[in-house]
Amino acid sequence: MKYDSVSEDQIADDLGMKVNDVRKILYKLEEYGLVKNYKERSEDGMQMIYYWYIDREMLNRRLLRLKQQVLEKLKARLKKEEDETYFYCPRDLLRFSYSEAMLHDFTCPRCGTPLEMEEDNITKAILKKLIKKLEEEIKHEESVL
């Protein structure tokens, strides 16, 4: 098949959906640049058949951009984690920033247990690991595109 494409009728049959519903979804995906279509005349020449295919290059570029946006957010979160002191309730396991803990007089607002200062920030370790993995993926994908 051209472009590994499929007709909207075939998609509707495969999914057990109405052709109009499938068409609406495909047009929405087309707005995002994820799919494209072309049309051909039916064998009897009476109607046009629309064939749809995934625009893999655009999809890869969009996924790369999404990963870059997630990376920016993870880095901002890591900076906040590094700049802030956190406290937690050992009973309820609720977590509070320094200013939140101060507002509650360093006691848990739910159970009244004194809050403890977080020594090992597991969140920081997880964020660093995620950032490193995402940076490696982005670097690889940028070299391929």
The pLDDT tens digits for 68-87 are: 999 999 999 999 999 999 99
pLDDT of 121 strictly over 90: no
Res. 145: pLDDT tops 80: no
pLDDT at 2: 47
What pLDDT score does 85 carry?
93
Task: Report CA-CA distances (Å) from 76 to 67, 101, 124, 128.
Answer: 14, 22, 11, 11
Domain assignments of the chain as residue spans, ordered by start: 2-54, 62-144
Please state, in angstroms and rounded to a whole number, the distance separating the CA atoms of residues 72 and 57.
23
CATH architecture of residue range(s) 2-54: Orthogonal Bundle (1.10)
